[in-house]
Chains A and B, each alone.
Chain A
């Protein structure tokens, strides 16, 4: 998902007997769906895991602007350009909501930025793929934002108050992202030329599998899930959400007349779900390790933006300090 393979620093979920009195009281509150707030007592691993998860989510929103920004100056109409600009601005906003939620846990914004720029913190694997054509922009909105919604809707109910509130805000805005993408594809698939439709199929072929990988490794290999689910900072398992995504997306692809690039995809009457083919997990692990098609380019772009913006950040701060000092002098003189 936007946060994938988040470590919990625990090897197994503690039983009630193994918990301290504080830990038991904490778990009782989580079980009773009472929100944990930043100043409340919490297990150190809960705090650390949340910082990792929320910051990874925030970094994904920020880095996620880059693949789409590639098409800002090349959008086919002024209206599409304005829509794309608004979507990208939303992504920046979502990153900011999430950074603030992470900061309530006692980490500074500069530390979070540094963790991204040094590669210590991760962001979603999906943003390490290139946007080769205009159809990629539509496909990202439809599939990538669609997968994000699937994960973020349950997170609105997560146990940590600031994260939950950030998710509520994000979810309100996210549906626009998915719809604008699907709308762009409808235009080309249903009313466009054969070449435009072929371009959509090509984009779909390239984004389908990486979108399924967004949900993270299969449940049987997802070692940190049990603890995260006990803490209610993960509400559904990876496979559960992936299945839900496939079930929802296949009819949408059919409506566009696009073919799913998976020969093993078929409706399973008995299960009431689509069966689908084996995912190439070695690809996900290689992208997460830093060897996806665009990992280096993405980080280089973020580093450049940070370095190039230094004079601006420092200049505004110096100006603010000078102004405040002048005000103090005037007050003292009066």
Chain B
């Protein structure tokens, strides 16, 4: 019999914020994956919520597409507030 499938683990920490990817593990099903994730990734109170996703269900961008995907945002510096010079006299903005 083959090995247990691979699951990607996401944890939301104590202080709100998003679930963050923390790593992966093997488990026979989703329920056991959550139990294993508890033991492997939250031994020191790191989380208050766990998500697990079958690794095969994740679609990732290809490293080769880095250019076409992310280049366009590189050239749009006006998206950052510091692009605009506002005089001090205007006050906080």
A residues apposed to B, CB below 8 Å: 37, 39-41, 86, 89-90, 93, 96-97, 100, 103, 108-110, 165-166, 169, 173, 313-314, 316-320, 323-324
- Chain B residue with Cβ nearest A110: B3
Instruction: Tell me the minimal C-beta distance from B41 to chain A in angstroms.
Output: 8
Question: B26, B29, B62: which contacts A39 (Cβ < 8 A)?
Answer: B62
Question: B6, B40, B60, B62: which contacts A93 (Cβ < 8 A)?
Answer: B40
Tell me whether A109 and B26 are in contact (CB under 8 A): yes
- Chain A residue with Cβ nearest B32: A316
Q: A39-B62, A173-B44 are in contact. Are A323 and B25 (CB under 8 A)?
A: no
Tell me whether A89 and B43 are in contact (CB under 8 A): yes
The interface residues of chain A lying within 8 Å CB-to-CB of B62 are 39
Interface members, chain B 11-58 (any A CB < 8 Å): 22-26, 28-29, 32, 39-40, 43-44
Tell me, in angstroms, the Cα distance from A96 to B3 when the chains sit together: 14
Tell me whether B28 and A100 are in contact (CB under 8 A): no
What are 13 residue pairs bridging A and B, where the CB atoms are less than 8 Å apart in the complex? A39-B62, A86-B43, A96-B25, A96-B40, A97-B23, A103-B24, A108-B3, A110-B2, A173-B44, A314-B1, A316-B29, A317-B28, A320-B29
Interface assignment of B91: CB less than 8 Å from any CB of chain A: no
Tell me whether B23 and A169 are in contact (CB under 8 A): yes
Q: A97-B23, A316-B32, A317-B4 are in contact. Are A40 and B63 (CB under 8 A)?
A: yes
Tell me, in angstroms, the Cα distance from A298 to B59 when the chains sit together: 40
Interface size on B, residues (CB 8 A): 20
Tell me, in angstroms, the Cα distance from A109 to B28 when the chains sit together: 14
The interface residues of chain A lying within 8 Å CB-to-CB of B39 are 89, 93
Q: A108-B3, A314-B1 are in contact. Are A320 and B60 (CB under 8 A)?
A: no
Tell me, in angstroms, the Cα distance from A316 to B33 when the chains sit together: 12
Tell me whether B3 and A109 are in contact (CB under 8 A): yes
Q: A39-B60, A39-B63 are in contact. Are A103 and B6 (CB under 8 A)?
A: yes
Instruction: Tell me the minimal C-beta distance from A61 to chain B in angstroms.
Output: 12
Tell me, in angstroms, the Cα distance from A323 to B63 when the chains sit together: 37
- Chain B residue with Cβ nearest A315: B28
The interface residues of chain A lying within 8 Å CB-to-CB of B3 are 108-110
The interface residues of chain B lying within 8 Å CB-to-CB of A96 are 25, 40
Instruction: Tell me the minimal C-beta distance from A116 to chain B in angstroms.
Output: 14
Tell me, in angstroms, the Cα distance from A319 to B39 when the chains sit together: 21
Tell me, in angstroms, the Cα distance from A110 to B22 when the chains sit together: 22
| Residue from A89, A100, A166 whose CB has the most chain B CB atoms within 10 Å | A100
Tell me whether B4 and A100 are in contact (CB under 8 A): no
Question: B23, B24, B32, B63: which contacts A37 (Cβ < 8 A)?
Answer: B63
- Chain A residue with Cβ nearest B3: A110
Instruction: Tell me the minimal C-beta distance from A298 to chain B in angstroms.
Output: 23
Instruction: Tell me the minimal C-beta distance from B58 to chain A in angstroms.
Output: 12
Tell me, in angstroms, the Cα distance from A100 to B40 when the chains sit together: 12
The interface residues of chain A lying within 8 Å CB-to-CB of B43 are 86, 89-90, 93, 173
- Chain B residue with Cβ nearest A111: B3
